[in-house]
Amino acid sequence: MSSTGALANKDSANRKGMTSRQIKAELILRGVTIREIADAAGVTGSAITQIINQCPSSRYKGYRIRRYIAQALGRSEEEIWPSS
């Protein structure tokens, strides 16, 4: 059997981080709203959405707020945004 099965694909996906769709889907599955994260971080919901939908060329990275998103997902920041 080949070692390029589902586990290998999962490992390579983790190295790339999570897409905005994956982040949003996981928040929905966990029953966490953007408003809850925003309240915990002391920012607006649009700031949370901006970080989740992060454009690679954007100057604003939201490093302080990423911690709150990662906590809501039960993941480390490095898992979500590996090379940032």
Q: What's the pLDDT score for residue 45?
A: 93
Q: What is the reported pTM?
A: 0.75
pLDDT number for residue 54: 82
Residue 62 neighbours by CB distance under 10 Å? 20
Residue 33's alpha-carbon distances to 40, 44, 58, in angstroms, are: 11, 12, 24
* CA 38 to each of CA 55, 67, 68: distance values in angstroms, whole numbers, following the listed order: 19, 12, 8
pLDDT at 27: 96
- How high is the pLDDT of residue 8? 45
Q: Which residues of the chain have pLDDT under 50?
A: 1-3, 5-9, 11-14
- Give the pLDDT of residue 56: 67
pLDDT at 83: 75
